[in-house]
Amino acid sequence: MKPSSLFGLSLVLAMVIAACTTQANIPTQAVPPTPTLAFVETTAAPLPTTTETATSTPTAPPSVTTFPNPESYQWVQVVGGLQNPVNLANAGDGSNRLFVLEKKGLIRVISGGTLQENPFLDISSQVGSRGSEQGLLGLAFHPDFKSNGYFYLDYTDTSGNTIIARFTADPQASAGDQKGDPASEKVLLTIDQPFSNHNGGHILFGPDGMLWIGMGDGGSGGDPHGNGQSLNTLLGKLLRIDVNRGDPYAIPADNPFASRSSGLPEIWAFGLRNPWQFSFDAQTADLYIADVGQDQWEEVDFLPSGFPDLPANLGWNIKEGSHPFNSVASPPPNLIDPVTEYDHSQGCSIIGGGVYRGQALPEFNGVYLFGDYCSGTIWGLLHLSSGWQSQLLFNTGVQIQAFGTDQQGEVYFVASEGSLYRLEKR
């Protein structure tokens, strides 16, 4: 995912000029009229106040079959004052806090609509963030965080390599006092990075309880080392590991290379360039992957729950989106094309979001939201019985770095100018 192509204008230059450009393309179906400007600078209504007990989630309404009128909605600023925010997550612990990653190595806390002065964690001394796509990139709270205090980070170290590590916070501390312990780090994976860009960086726990890790192809431009198609490297892959067993982790038995003599066992899918971000539909467990393109096409890939044809090959660097990129004598027969793509006349670097499953905006239920870093536009994508439909919904006017949700499923994004925004009705 990644990501510092999500981190500033320098990122755009790094990706577009250095042949590492990202893309922004809209699906061919249902191209809409002029997008709606729906961006508000004023402060949003406060986030839910802190409680220690998670509330039960009501039964979700059925997915919509048409897009809502975007003029009835707006992106409202919740807080400002963040320093180069690159990702966000919730802890799933009933505290209703949001946690925002700052590229240099801090995790900031937003509680009750207020940015807390003291960070949840500061590991800036061990994070290498000089490159536009380097830094503290991913955060995933263990499903049992409330009882075990475990959370997981993806960051680039001072040598530029990817670190996947577990940290611990005191589960007995109140939400207002809880802090992550920098000294509690347990490194799970260290992955050498040949270049400073295309680090991926997004991580999350899937509905299966496994930790999923998005890895870029290692950088430069055009995947010069062929990492996307190689099964002997973790670069250019979607990884899946079991952090509840083994030391430091175990390989899930149903991973496609778990019992094969070739292919690294952590690999779940390959043929990725720089996935940023990926997400599971909370209702169906379908997987959506936004993969940043080279210099022409941005794409959204889709793997339905229970997808049988594993490992999934998403095409890079034989294809960019659904289009030929490298000619090969014998192309694999099972390349999976994206379900939607857009060209660089509409943006330069895709930012994946998620399928809306919150309660406040039922008109969006089932709509996959994704955006573009360079253009600040946000699209909706619907999976209908008749096929995939896409519509351009919002022009935010800001550089979108990452999407995320709170524990109630309401959707947010962080922007490079240092603010967090939430989607609301007008």
Locate the domains of the chain by residue range: 4-46+63-425
pLDDT of residue 60: 59
Going by the DSSP 8-state scheme, the letter that residue 25 receives in this structure is B
Note if the bond before 317 is cis, omega within 30 degrees: yes
- 340-343 and 297-303 as β-strands: parallel, antiparallel, unpaired? antiparallel
Q: What is the DSSP string of 192-249?
A: --SSSS-----EEE-TTS-EEEE----SSSS-TT-TTT-SSSSTTEEEEEBTTSSSS-
Element holding 251 (H helix, E strand): none
Cis omega (within 30 of 0) for bond into 229: no
For 72-88, write each residue's pLDDT tens digit.
999 999 999 999 999 99
At residue 13, the pLDDT reads 37
Q: Shortest CA distance to 254 belongs to which of 244, 267, 243?
A: 267
The amino acid at 42: T
Q: Is the pLDDT of residue 58 over 80?
A: no
Residue 342, beta-bridge partner list: 25, 298
Instruction: Inform me whether the pLDDT recorded for 38 exceeds 60.
Output: no
* 167, two tokens: 């940290």
Rama region for 223: left / alpha / beta (φ>0; ψ in -120 to 50; rest):
left
Q: For 267-285, what is the mean pLDDT?
A: 98
User: How far apart (Å, rounded) are the C-alpha atoms in residues 80 and 70?
Assistant: 24
CB atoms under 10 Å from CB of 55, counted, come to 11
Q: What's the average model confidence in pLDDT over 243-263?
A: 96
What is the overall mean pLDDT for the chain?
Answer: 89
132 or 2, greater pLDDT: 132
Question: CB within 8 A of 230, min separation 6: which ones?
Answer: 236, 270
Q: Region 32-58: what's the mean pLDDT?
A: 44
For 91-100, write each residue's pLDDT tens digit: 999 999 999 9
If residue 8 lies in a helix (H) or strand (E), which one and from where to where? Answer: none
Confidence check: pLDDT of 128 > 80 = yes
Among all chains, which residue has been given the structure tokens 């949700």? 405
Is 152 in a helix, a strand, or coil?
strand
pLDDT higher at 54 or 267: 267
| Other residues' Cβ atoms within 10 Å of the Cβ of residue 97 | 23
- Average pLDDT for residues 127-150, to the nearest whole number? 97
Q: Are 94 and 54 in contact (CB under 8 A)?
A: yes
Q: How far apart are CA 301 and CA 341, in angstroms?
A: 9
pLDDT band at 300 (very low <50, low <70, confident <90, very high): very high
Q: Which residue's structure tokens are 């778990």?
A: 258
Q: What percent of the chain has pLDDT over 70?
A: 86
- Cα Dmax for the chain: 60
Choose the most confident range, by mean pLDDT, from 10-24, 39-53, 381-395: 381-395
Q: 31 or 273, which is more confident?
A: 273
Consecutive H or E run containing 9: helix 9-17
Task: Dig out the tokens for 89 from the structure.
Answer: 């997550």
CATH homologous superfamily of 4-46+63-425: TolB, C-terminal domain (2.120.10.30)
CA distances from 64 to 68, 111, 141, 357 (A): 9, 31, 30, 11
Instruction: Give Cα 423 to chain centroid, integer Å.
Output: 18
> What single letter denotes the amino acid at residue 303?
L
